């Protein structure tokens, strides 16, 4: 069976004020960065989201040059509001 010439991916970002989602049809072999550029979502998001860019596919961290597969959900992560290790230390010191 021949593989399709195009793949369908979802590009999503869950922000503080809501979720942005864009479904795209891309050529086989497209990277995560190409999907983000095609979606146009990065222009709509706050600057701190894109610097540095944190990405994942189905909650698994990836690099921007990761080649996407048909049906992938590409996630753009926002920066952490609080460092988890600092939070753990604070709770431990409070006893």
**What is the full DSSP assignment across 45-92?**
S-GGGBTTBEEEETTEEE-TTPBP-TT-EEEEEPPPSS-HHHHHHHHH
DSSP 31: B
pLDDT tens digits for range 43-56: 887 776 767 888 99
Q: Which of 48, 40, 54 is nearest to 16 (CA)?
A: 48
pLDDT tens digits for range 36-86: 999 998 888 777 676 788 899 999 999 999 999 999 999 999 877 777 788
- Most confidently predicted of 9-18, 25-34, 85-94: 25-34
Between CA 40 and CA 62 the distance in angstroms is 19
Q: pTM of the full predicted structure?
A: 0.78
Between CA 51 and CA 54 the distance in angstroms is 8
- Say which CATH class 6-94 falls into: alpha beta
The domain ranges of the chain are: 6-94
């Amino acid at each position: 069976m021949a593989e399709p010439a195009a793949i369908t991916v979802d590009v999503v970002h869950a922000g503080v004020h809501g979720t942005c989602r864009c479904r795209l049809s891309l050529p086989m072999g497209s990277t995560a960065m190409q999907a983000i550029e095609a979606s146009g979502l990065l222009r709509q998001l706050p600057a701190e989201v894109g610097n540095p860019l944190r990405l994942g596919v189905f909650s698994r961290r990836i690099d921007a040059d990761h080649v996407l597969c048909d049906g992938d959900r590409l996630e753009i992560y926002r920066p952490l509001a609080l460092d988890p290790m600092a939070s753990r230390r604070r709770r431990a010191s409070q006893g």
